[in-house]
Amino acid sequence: MRTLVRGVLTGAGYLRQSWSLVLLASALVGAPSPVTAEDLRYELPAAGSYALPVIDRVSDYEMLGADNRRGPLLDLAAGQCAVVSFVYLSCTDARGCPLALATLRRLDRLLADRDDLADRVRLVTVSFDPERDRPPQLASLRRHMDPRADWRFVTAASPTELRPVLRDYGQDAVPLLTSNGAFLGRMRHVAKVFLIDSEGAVRNIYSSGLMDHRLLLRDLETLLLTDAATPRP
Amino acid sequence: MDHSRRVWIGLLVGLLGLAGPSAADETCQSPYIPKLTGQEDFIYIWTVGIEGLGDGSDKVVTVGVNPERSDFGKVVSSVSVGGRHEAHHGGLSDDRRHFWVGGLDDSRIYIMDLATDPARPRLVRTIEDFTEKSGGVVGPHGFYALPGRMLISALSNAADGGGRTAMVEYNNDGEYIRTIWMPEGAPYGYDARIKAELNRMLTSSFTGRNNYMRKLSELLGDAEAMKNFGNTMVVWDYHARKPLQILEVPGAPLEIRWALRPEHEYAFTSTALTSKLWGIFRKDDGTFEAVELADIGDPSKVPLPVDISLSADDRFLFVNSFLDGMVRVFDVVNPRAPKVVYERKIGPQVNMVSQSWDGKRLYFTSSLLANWDGTGGDDAQFLKAYTWDGKTLEPLFELDFRSEKLGRPHMMRFGQIDFYRGRVSEGGAGG
């Protein structure tokens, strides 16, 4: 399986392989995919049985949406929280942006089926490649992802506008260059997904190994179903 | 590549759920740190100051280790933190921009900026209230990067200086988050290591400040004090930070190394006082068992095993023992039946060992603790570099930290100029 996927990553013609197209078609129409997430190799802790302490605080930022309109990145009401992932569309690191996108897509489906959570959680995908990932590209991404819950796609007007956002979240993104200084089209980054509460507090950060939609949902349950009963000072 | 294809390739890869191997660092670090896969340019060495030698202060020493550079085998820079604090361990932040180092004596923590000028680290923050903020934790020992955070495993406590201790989390800005005390029945601490795919963390156990700040010869003669060492490891639900199992591993299990391949569900440790190699294996029911695997040297001579290093392919485990200055290389392809395939005397004493991601270069430093290091001619203080071809270690260079007036070299971490500049060097880089 790994070899086949490397083929998808590196061989342009590989998308023509029929099994890939089955996957594409299945995902496009929302039919059950023949490929599902790996089984968890551990038991999820019970919701509310553990703490999600405040790790950091972030500000809200004016960003550019897939609809080409400016608006706040988070824009959370009291009692809401956000799951924020930073990606760039040219990423080919299977453990990076593709995994973050797929995780949010699976989470989006889970949330859509949860009346108690769906209107209290906002998913936000932020591009950290604002020069190439413009609103039309994000709109295309949104169409492909076909959100069922509240999932927004935003970018920045410029790298300058993006810089303080990345700094505030602690999201690294370094353009990769050849020895001659030419841009390779890729960025070095640590894939991170952030769980943010309505006060702008970072309550968890997910990365390789524990970036999983079921774990995220359990944290959302813990945060939204137990935090409300325990007002913070 | 057109946009639609870019999006769909990404989606496909993600939908396939290919988490793949965690992005491990040079074989032994947090899975959350991007790895340096090419030739490292520098080694940053957290060094214990010696009174009367140079400025006498603890310092981070940067040594050039790239044979292609003119500073190969030379001290490039050093940054002193002022005074002696029992410099010991340290670790990189999850983006490799900062090197956190700690002092076991007064529990100070120093954060060095590596990214601005990788050849010249810069002290950017000092945490002086670790014990106060953490609720009485003493001896910040292990520094293990989590996403956006640093997990600090400690050794002791302020109430009695004994071995009851905790893990403490800080965010990457150096702000305190929380304290997680070790559980009843396993109060000691030392190392904390995560296998993210299993959502499991292992911790090990050493001894408290009352012991680690004493002279070794004096301590070994104090039977009552020698009872105050840890004999346990703890299996944790990492995500929930909840202890699940206490494993009996007698004789102070120190460094922990999880196997790096995702499908390998085991870890190794060595016990300092009993000179044994142990394996911690996941069982079919999801619980873990601790299994004694092999002697390290002659346990009756107490060689005092210290640092260990596992190759990225989970094949070779390098095991240092302090008092005989030896490294023994175990073939651990069959993790339940390790075999010694090579051994070499590195010096009169040896403590830490670090290897490059490709396993071709290994670096050794000499110091354990200021009061435990040898005396006279046995107190050689060095960095020694070797190449490894899978069969033998061949000397590359060595640096005498006494003649350089630096101190006692301890913890090592790697740096690479291209990594911070975004240049892709041979061996590739994540992205």
Determine the pLDDT at residue A226. Answer: 73
DSSP 8-state symbol, A36: -
Say if CB A86 and CB A126 are below 8 A apart: yes
In a mutational test of the B interface, the residue from A190, A206, A220 whose CB has the highest number of chain B CBs within 10 Å is A190
Say if residue A48 is in the same domain as residue A29. no
Own/partner pairs for B179-185, CB < 8 Å, 24+ apart?
B179/B134, B179/B135, B179/B137, B180/B241, B182/B234, B182/B243, B183/B234, B183/B243, B183/B246, B185/B232, B185/B246
Compute the average pLDDT of residues A103-110: 97
Nearest residue of chain A to residue B172 (CA atoms): A170
Contacts of B16 in chain A (CB under 8 A): 1, 5, 35, 94
- The pLDDT tens digits of the residues spanning B355-399 come to 999 999 999 999 999 999 998 888 999 999 999 999 999 999 999
Determine the pLDDT at residue A228. Answer: 64
pLDDT above 90: residue B352? yes
Please state the domain count of chain B: 1
Answer yes or no: do A140 and B421 touch at CB < 8 A.
Answer: no
Determine the pLDDT at residue B16. Answer: 40
- The answer for B 275-304 residues in CB contact with A (under 8 A) is 286
As given in the structure block, the two tokens for residue B119 are 């050849």
- The pLDDT tens digits of the residues spanning B288-337 come to 999 999 999 999 999 999 999 999 999 999 999 999 999 999 999 999 99
Contacts of A27 in chain B (CB under 8 A): 11, 15
Q: What percent of chain A has pLDDT over 90?
A: 67
**Closest CA–CA distance from residue B144 to any residue of chain A (Å):** 14
Say if CB B357 and CB B27 are below 8 A apart: yes
Q: How many CB atoms lie within 10 A of CB B291?
A: 15
Q: Answer yes or no: is B337 within a domain.
A: yes
| Band of residue A39 on the pLDDT scale cut at 50, 70, 90 | confident
Say if residue A199 is in the same domain as residue A216. yes
CA distances from A73 to A125, A128, A216, B50 (A): 9, 13, 20, 52
Q: Which residue segment(s) compose the domain that B186 sits in? A: 21-421
Answer yes or no: do B431 and A188 touch at CB < 8 A.
Answer: yes
| Band of residue B231 on the pLDDT scale cut at 50, 70, 90 | very high
Say if residue A32 is in the same domain as residue A64. no
Q: Is B34 on the interface with A (CB under 8 A)?
A: yes
- The pLDDT tens digits of the residues spanning A189-233 come to 889 999 999 999 999 999 978 899 999 999 999 998 776 655 554
Q: Answer yes or no: is B431 within a domain.
A: no
Determine the pLDDT at residue A180. Answer: 85
B207: β partners: B229
As given in the structure block, the two tokens for residue B143 are 């520094």
Q: How many CB atoms lie within 10 A of CB A16?
A: 9
Determine the pLDDT at residue B139. Answer: 98
Say if residue A166 is in the same domain as residue A69. yes
- The answer for B 232-251 residues in CB contact with A (under 8 A) is 237-242
- The pLDDT tens digits of the residues spanning B170-226 come to 999 999 999 999 999 999 999 999 999 999 999 999 999 999 999 999 999 999 999
- The answer for B 83-112 residues in CB contact with A (under 8 A) is 94-95, 97
List CB contacts of A117: < 8 A, sequence separation 6 or more.
A111, A217, A220, A221, A224
pLDDT above 90: residue B125? yes
pLDDT above 50: residue A18? no
Nearest residue of chain A to residue B263 (CA atoms): A41
pLDDT above 50: residue A11? no
Answer yes or no: do B32 and A207 touch at CB < 8 A.
Answer: yes
**Closest CA–CA distance from residue B286 to any residue of chain A (Å):** 7
Please state the domain count of chain A: 2
Contacts of B36 in chain A (CB under 8 A): none
Of A30-39, B73-82, B84-93, B403-412, which range is least confident? A30-39
B197 phi/psi in degrees, rounded to 5: -60, -25
Q: For residue A214, what is the domain's CATH number?
A: 3.40.30.10
Query: How high is the mean pLDDT of chain A?
Result: 83
Cα A158 to chain centroid, rounded:
20
Q: Is A22 on the interface with B (CB under 8 A)?
A: no
Compute the average pLDDT of residues B5-21: 41
Say if residue A68 is in the same domain as residue A26. no
Instruction: Give the separation between CA B372 and CA B217, rounded to whole angstroms.
Output: 8
pLDDT above 70: residue A22? no
**Closest CA–CA distance from residue B295 to any residue of chain A (Å):** 32
Say if CB B203 and CB B184 are below 8 A apart: no
Compute the average pLDDT of residues B75-79: 98
Looking at B186-324, list the stretches that DSSP marks H as alpha helix, in order from N- to C-terminal side.
Answer: 209-212, 216-220, 223-226
Say if residue A131 is in the same domain as residue A211. yes
Instruction: Give the separation between CA B323 and CA A197, rounded to whole angstroms.
Output: 52
Say if residue A1 is in the same domain as residue A102. no
Nearest residue of chain A to residue B177 (CA atoms): A55
Answer yes or no: do B10 and A89 touch at CB < 8 A.
Answer: yes
Task: Give me the numbers of helices (H) and strands (E) for chain B, helices first please.
Answer: 6, 28
Contacts of A97 in chain B (CB under 8 A): 10
Q: Which residue segment(s) compose the domain that A158 sits in? A: 44-229
Strands A183-188 and A174-177: antiparallel
Instruction: Give the separation between CA A89 and CA A60, rounded to whole angstroms.
Output: 23
| Band of residue A37 on the pLDDT scale cut at 50, 70, 90 | low
Q: Predicted ipTM?
A: 0.91
Q: Is B261 on the interface with A (CB under 8 A)?
A: no
In a mutational test of the B interface, the residue from A89, A184, A207 whose CB has the highest number of chain B CBs within 10 Å is A207
CA distances from B101 to A129, B39, B54, B107, B115 (A): 34, 24, 20, 10, 16
Answer yes or no: do A176 and B422 touch at CB < 8 A.
Answer: yes
- The pLDDT tens digits of the residues spanning A154-200 come to 999 999 999 999 999 999 998 899 888 899 899 988 899 999 999 99
Q: Is A142 on the interface with B (CB under 8 A)?
A: no
Q: Is B172 on the interface with A (CB under 8 A)?
A: yes
What number of residues does chain A have?
Answer: 233
Answer yes or no: do B9 and A8 touch at CB < 8 A.
Answer: yes
Strands B266-271 and A201-206: unpaired
Instruction: Give the separation between CA B38 and CA B179, rounded to whole angstroms.
Output: 37
Answer yes or no: do B423 and A177 touch at CB < 8 A.
Answer: yes
| Band of residue B425 on the pLDDT scale cut at 50, 70, 90 | low
Q: Answer yes or no: is B196 within a domain.
A: yes
List CB contacts of A173: < 8 A, sequence separation 6 or more.
A86, A88, A128, A129, A166, A187, A188, A189
Nearest residue of chain B to residue A3 (CA atoms): B18
Instruction: Give the separation between CA B5 and CA B44, rounded to whole angstroms.
Output: 42
Answer yes or no: do A176 and B423 touch at CB < 8 A.
Answer: yes
Q: Answer yes or no: is B11 within a domain.
A: no
Nearest residue of chain A to residue B284 (CA atoms): A41
Chain A / chain B CB contacts < 8 angstroms: 201
Instruction: Give the separation between CA A213 and CA A105, rounded to whole angstroms.
Output: 8
End-to-end CA distance of chain B: 17
- The answer for B 187-226 residues in CB contact with A (under 8 A) is 194, 196-200
Helix (H, G, I), strand (E, B) or coil at A42: coil
Say if residue A48 is in the same domain as residue A25. no
Q: Is A102 on the interface with B (CB under 8 A)?
A: yes
In angstroms and rounded to an integer, the radius of gyration of the C-alpha atoms of chain B is 20
Contacts of B421 in chain A (CB under 8 A): 177
Determine the pLDDT at residue B423. Answer: 77
Contacts of B4 in chain A (CB under 8 A): 140, 144
Say if residue A135 is in the same domain as residue A53. yes
| Band of residue A27 on the pLDDT scale cut at 50, 70, 90 | very low
Q: Is B52 on the interface with A (CB under 8 A)?
A: no
Cα A38 to chain centroid, rounded:
18
Of A1-5, B6-10, B153-157, B192-196, which range is least confident? A1-5
Q: In what order do the strands lie in the sheet with B87-92?
A: B87-92, B98-103, B109-113, B122-127
Contacts of A201 in chain B (CB under 8 A): none
Cα B268 to chain centroid, rounded:
14
Say if residue A16 is in the same domain as residue A72. no
| Band of residue A111 on the pLDDT scale cut at 50, 70, 90 | very high
Strands A121-127 and A151-155: parallel
Q: Is A48 on the interface with B (CB under 8 A)?
A: no
Query: How high is the mean pLDDT of chain B?
Result: 92
Nearest beta carbon to residue A208 from set B19, B177, B265: B19
Contacts of B148 in chain A (CB under 8 A): 55-56, 170, 192, 202, 205
| Band of residue B29 on the pLDDT scale cut at 50, 70, 90 | confident
Say if residue A25 is in the same domain as residue A51. no
Q: In what order do the strands lie in the sheet with B42-48?
A: B75-80, B59-64, B42-48, B408-415
Say if residue A19 is in the same domain as residue A50. no
Instruction: Give the separation between CA B111 and CA B141, rounded to whole angstroms.
Output: 14
Q: For residue B232, what is the domain's CATH number?
A: 2.130.10.10
Nearest residue of chain A to residue B180 (CA atoms): A51
Say if CB B353 and CB B306 are below 8 A apart: no
**Closest CA–CA distance from residue B59 to any residue of chain A (Å):** 27
